[in-house]
Structure 1
């Protein structure tokens, strides 16, 4: 087709794959992409730490003696693991759950409300999910580490 003719369509923009070595430094992932990746990371983290979650639940509800042992493990540690490290693992699980829950609600809202599927809503809702999950995690971290 002749490019000077009135019916000629403009050339489409060419996209290429991102080269990890040269392009990754300057690539800015949008907030929705960050939330999407963190949603997957938090799901994998919760899955991989499922034995720890089950141990925490079982030990904390079995009896008063096991609950006292549960508290002692987080205060003093277990074996070679110090208590603060176990608290950090528990904090990672808290973040993973909160982020996964908030991001899941965001995805459900976009599935139900088709008007919500816009670029601006995706950016805004991603920033809200990040903010809410971080604020709630910090609040629970204060409780976990005995700030209040």
Structure 2
């Protein structure tokens, strides 16, 4: 039995709901946090090995690219934490309807934007 339904193979035209976007970005931020953990631990290890190494690590933060990477890591961590809490609340049975899930995703994006701005102030 053949189904004659339209097929849209152009992924650029697919419009995801905000809840799907939030979920996909939560997975991406998990990868960012995993990579950031390696960066943070290597910087910590280097800074604790000796006093000259500590000053070398402090000197890294004079570079804009390093500061930008640190800001990106902190933003990814903030996003993952905010939406992780949102997912745990949904696991408890709340915010499962589409309207409340969409509202919680929008609030999560706003909270993450505020935390990202605060991380930018902290880094720069």
Q: Same fold (TM over 0.5)?
A: yes
1:59 Cα deviation from its structure 2 partner: 3.2
Residue aligned with 2:61, SS? helix
**Per the alignment, do residues 16 and 61 of structure 1 end up closer, same or farther by CA in structure 2, a change over 3 Å counting?**
farther
| Residue 94 (structure 1) aligns with | 74
Larger proportion of helix: 2
Query: Which structure 2 residue ranges, 5 or more long, are not aligned?
Result: none
Say how many residue pairs are matched: 121
The structure, 1 or 2, with the larger RCO (C-alpha pairs under 8 Å, 6+ apart) is 2
- Please tell me whether residue 139 in structure 1 is matched to residue 118 in structure 2: yes
| Residue 96 (structure 2) aligns with | 117
In structure 1, distance between residues paired with 2:117 and 2:47 = 23
- Please tell me whether residue 105 in structure 1 is matched to residue 95 in structure 2: no
RMSD after superposition: 2.2
In structure 1, distance between residues paired with 2:94 and 2:33 = 32
| Residue 130 (structure 1) aligns with | 109
In structure 2, distance between residues paired with 1:111 and 1:44 = 22
| Residue 54 (structure 2) aligns with | 67
1:50 Cα deviation from its structure 2 partner: 3.5
1:28 Cα deviation from its structure 2 partner: 2.4
1:5-84 map, 5 Å: 18-20=8-10, 24-25=12-13, 27-62=14-49, 64-75=51-62, 83-84=63-64
In structure 2, distance between residues paired with 1:47 and 1:36 = 17
